[in-house]
A and B are shown apart, each in its own frame.
Chain A
Amino acid sequence: MAGDPFRDLGREHADLIAAAYARAQGAHPDLPEETFAEAIGLSVRAWADKLDAPPGLGEIRAYIETLHAEDLALACLCRAGDAPAWEKLVTEYRNALYAAARAITRDEGASRDLADELYADLYGLAEREGRRRSLLDYFHGRSSLRTWLQAVIAQRWVDRNRTFARAERIAAAQETIAATAPDPADPSRAPYLAAFARTFSAAVAELSSRDRLRLNLYYAQELTLKEIGRLMNEYESSVSRHLLRSRKKLRHRVEELLRRETHLDEEQIRLCYAFALEWWSADLGRFFAELR
């Protein structure tokens, strides 16, 4: 391939590719070496495409060394239609997939639908140019096959869940209500709501990425401290401490902005909180009316 920076990959890293093939062949003796080497090449290219800068030699070697060779080999054989490989994929991963889908959906029916549909796509029911297209075409061995399948299920669930799409419409409805329907009992409410929404957004934007991600995982995704810790590579106690600190920081910054930029006093800040809470929590019927 002209201009392909990885055209000499097989030669430059022959030792690592051979070592990976040896690991893979232990579990999958029928795997052709050329097929596996090609898969490694594609894996390196897919990884490098997402980087900000081309990887150096050392980085490429480190990448190949840490590939999940056995899982990549299984994917290669499944893509090629190898029956024993497919049977292995089904018997070894099906229960884990169902369990993952159940953990995500909390619904037996939805979880089986999700997992069964995924299996169909893994097998590859669609054909293009005479070749069955499998979802496994997108697995490159950087993570384990199990974790990758869990990520795929997670994406599919998020895509299906219209709740998230609706949240956007609710946010739009809230803006409409705040802007056009002031409470007759308190016409001054709208400025408080606008001030709070503005300062809250500004304060969130000032948090560090890790603090924002941690808060989102805790509040928006309702993950446990342990789950967050594992994702962020922190201990539970650290997660708890960081969450507490971030929330306090967020509150102090919101109040500072309300005092400094909107010139609210303490009583008015308290009203801000009360109005914002009522606005977000009450009048759900009005929100629904906006959505229809």
Chain B
Amino acid sequence: MTSKERDNAFEPLARMGLQSGPVQRGAECADAAIVAAFVERKLSAAERSRWETHFAGCAYCTAVLGAAARAGQELPQPETSRARWWAIPLTGTIAAAALAALFLHLHSLTQTTPSPAIVAESARTDELASVDKRAANLQENAPATLPSAPEMLALNEPVAREAPPAAPGNVEARDAQQKSSTSAGPHAKADQQATISKRAIGDATSALERPVAKKELYGTAIGGAGTAGENSLANAPAPSSQTLEKATGSVVSPIEIRSADGSGVWQIGRGGSISRRVATSWEAESSGVASDLIAGSAASSDICWVVGRGGVILRTTDGEHWEKLAPPTTSDFAGVVAQSATSAIVTASDGRRFATIDGGVSWHPQ
């Protein structure tokens, strides 16, 4: 087993291992004021160090931080080092150059001559149309809600992927596929169960197991605590992936994404699976999501954008590590056209299109 293969094999174990752990709120956990001060970097160095140590070992506080990070759309940017005196004219020059580049870039977007990335994408138009149709079928026949990635991952859903089908005549890749198929029996079985969410367990609604005093949650106030009664969510069971396949009558087969010069090739598919072709073999990559991936577009051998169900937009800028971007909508996406690491247009399954020129920080309806 090569070091890379070991890393890939270890990746899902790290993911699942780090998701387990006690999640009960403790007396030492941070209240809302501390969490907010941490997010805004208002804590002193000593406080920050202390609370980082606590957060690192506390699944509850990490969960709160994670939710707060998602909720905060205007978190402060990382602080840079103190500005040097020579940075001022340099900054002005850079700003002018950036504005000029932005103008030229925006101008190029309106040009009728497509870039090589778009030309490469146009070759997939038919495939994209069929994916659009499949996505529309999926949407039509799919249940009202699908389990979200956190719900599935919380049940230790496997991240291991099946190897993509080998190209004809490619003995090494076929061997790799056979080997992974041999060992992927339980993975395939688990894959079919992958979409069983907490709703499939038939989680009954009930109050919290331990009422939490408001002081613990929110800190010191004038006076004491109030009631902590909470209404849990009533969840209907969601179907397994087998039911979904029966309902749609089709299985989302892997989709190949290729850069214009052919040097960057990825395959995407069900359950957030992504693989990249390296030499003559396919290497699984971690997408970080469990949603079905529907379409992709490679701007270069290292830059690739992928979209999928539930508002999933992923991007890699090094060909290997995938980052989930904040989407303009949580609807399913059916297509994407990427020009660069920062510019792309995504198409939702309802036909709406959104463009970004800042790497997904902001989206503009088209």
Give the B-binding residues of A (Cβ under 8 A): 42, 45-46, 49-52, 59, 66, 99-104, 106-107, 110, 113, 117, 121, 126, 128-129, 131, 133, 135, 137-140, 142-144, 147-148, 150-168, 170-171, 174, 196, 200, 204, 207, 209-213, 215-231, 233-236, 240, 244, 247-248, 250-251, 254-255, 266, 270, 273-274, 276-278, 280-282, 284-285, 287-288, 291
Please name all residues of chain A whose beta carbon is closer than 8 Å to the beta carbon of B37 when the two chains form the complex: 142-143
Q: Mark B4-30, 1 if CB is under 8 A from A, else 0.
A: 001101111111111111111100000
Specify which of B11, B50, B72, B230 lies most central, judged by the most chain A CB atoms within 10 Å of its CB. B72
Q: Which of B44, B75, B189, B220 contacts A231 (CB 8 A)?
A: B75
Query: Given that A154-B67, A215-B14, A219-B14 are contacting pairs, would A137 and B222 also be in contact in the complex, using a CB cutoff of 8 Å?
Result: yes
Query: Which residues of chain B from 193 to 221 have any CB-CB distance to chain A below 8 Å in the complex?
Result: 193, 196, 198, 201, 203, 208-209, 212, 214, 217-221
Instruction: Tell me which of B54-62, B162-170, B257-265 binds A.
Output: B54-62
* B59 and A220 contacting across the interface, CB-CB below 8 Å: yes
Name the 10 nearest CB pairs between A and B, nearest first. Answer: A221-B66, A281-B158, A154-B67, A138-B218, A143-B36, A137-B221, A100-B71, A212-B56, A164-B23, A154-B68
* A104 and B23 contacting across the interface, CB-CB below 8 Å: no
Query: Given that A143-B37, A220-B18 are contacting pairs, would A150 and B203 also be in contact in the complex, using a CB cutoff of 8 Å?
Result: no
* B155 and A235 contacting across the interface, CB-CB below 8 Å: no
Q: Which of B22, B208, B222 contacts A42 (CB 8 A)?
A: B222
Count of B interface residues, CB-CB < 8 Å:
112
Query: Which residues of chain B from 221 to 238 have any CB-CB distance to chain A below 8 Å in the complex?
Result: 221-224, 226-227, 230-233
Query: Which residues of chain B from 253 to 284 have any CB-CB distance to chain A below 8 Å in the complex?
Result: none
Please name all residues of chain B whose beta carbon is closer than 8 Å to the beta carbon of A167 when the two chains form the complex: 19-21, 23, 59, 154
Please name all residues of chain B whose beta carbon is closer than 8 Å to the beta carbon of A144 when the two chains form the complex: 36, 40
* B18 and A236 contacting across the interface, CB-CB below 8 Å: no
* A150 and B71 contacting across the interface, CB-CB below 8 Å: yes
* B63 and A230 contacting across the interface, CB-CB below 8 Å: no
Q: Which of A152, A162, A211, A223 contacts B218 (CB 8 A)?
A: A152
Q: How far is the CB of B149 from chain A (nearest CB, A)?
A: 6
* B55 and A213 contacting across the interface, CB-CB below 8 Å: yes
Instruction: Tell me which of B96-104, B119-127, B318-326 binds A.
Output: B318-326
Q: How far is the CB of B204 from chain A (nearest CB, A)?
A: 9
* B7 and A251 contacting across the interface, CB-CB below 8 Å: yes
* A143 and B196 contacting across the interface, CB-CB below 8 Å: no
Is B32 on the interface with A (CB-CB < 8 A)? yes
* A223 and B222 contacting across the interface, CB-CB below 8 Å: no
Closest A residue by C-beta to B193: A284
Q: How far is the CB of A172 from chain B (nearest CB, A)?
A: 10
Query: Given that A143-B37, A162-B198, A270-B1 are contacting pairs, would A217 and B71 also be in contact in the complex, using a CB cutoff of 8 Å?
Result: no
* A222 and B149 contacting across the interface, CB-CB below 8 Å: yes
Q: How far is the CB of A201 from chain B (nearest CB, A)?
A: 8
Is B328 on the interface with A (CB-CB < 8 A)? no
Q: How far is the CB of B226 from chain A (nearest CB, A)?
A: 5
* A162 and B203 contacting across the interface, CB-CB below 8 Å: yes
Please name all residues of chain B whose beta carbon is closer than 8 Å to the beta carbon of A101 when the two chains form the complex: 71
Instruction: Tell me which of B76-84, B106-114, B133-141 binds A.
Output: B76-84
Query: Given that A138-B31, A151-B35 are contacting pairs, would A46 and B219 also be in contact in the complex, using a CB cutoff of 8 Å?
Result: yes
Closest A residue by C-beta to B47: A51
* A143 and B224 contacting across the interface, CB-CB below 8 Å: no
* A221 and B72 contacting across the interface, CB-CB below 8 Å: no
22 A-B residue contacts at CB 8 Å? A103-B70, A106-B310, A128-B224, A137-B221, A138-B214, A150-B68, A151-B36, A155-B67, A167-B21, A167-B154, A168-B21, A207-B56, A209-B49, A215-B14, A215-B18, A221-B65, A222-B288, A223-B66, A230-B76, A277-B13, A281-B16, A281-B158
Q: How far is the CB of B296 from chain A (nearest CB, A)?
A: 18
Q: Complex Cα distance A287/B271, Å?
A: 21
Q: Complex Cα distance A66/B40, Å?
A: 12
Q: Which of A46, A212, A277 contacts B57 (CB 8 A)?
A: A212
Query: Given that A137-B222, A224-B323 are contacting pairs, would A103 and B66 also be in contact in the complex, using a CB cutoff of 8 Å?
Result: no
Please name all residues of chain B whose beta carbon is closer than 8 Å to the beta carbon of A148 when the two chains form the complex: 32-33, 36
Q: Which of B148, B186, B223 contacts A106 (CB 8 A)?
A: B148
Closest A residue by C-beta to B17: A200
Q: Complex Cα distance A226/B19, Å?
A: 20
Is B160 on the interface with A (CB-CB < 8 A)? yes
Please name all residues of chain A whose beta carbon is closer than 8 Å to the beta carbon of B13 when the two chains form the complex: 196, 200, 273, 276-277, 280
* B56 and A213 contacting across the interface, CB-CB below 8 Å: yes
Q: Complex Cα distance A285/B76, Å?
A: 44
* B230 and A251 contacting across the interface, CB-CB below 8 Å: no
Query: Given that A103-B70, A154-B68, A231-B69 are contacting pairs, would A50 and B34 also be in contact in the complex, using a CB cutoff of 8 Å?
Result: yes
Please name all residues of chain A whose beta carbon is closer than 8 Å to the beta carbon of B357 when the two chains form the complex: none
Specify which of B33, B39, B221, B323 lies most central, judged by the most chain A CB atoms within 10 Å of its CB. B33
Q: Complex Cα distance A126/B229, Å?
A: 13
* B186 and A282 contacting across the interface, CB-CB below 8 Å: yes
Q: How far is the CB of A20 from chain B (nearest CB, A)?
A: 15
Q: Complex Cα distance A231/B61, Å?
A: 13
Please name all residues of chain A whose beta carbon is closer than 8 Å to the beta carbon of B41 when the two chains form the complex: 233
Closest B residue by C-beta to A138: B218
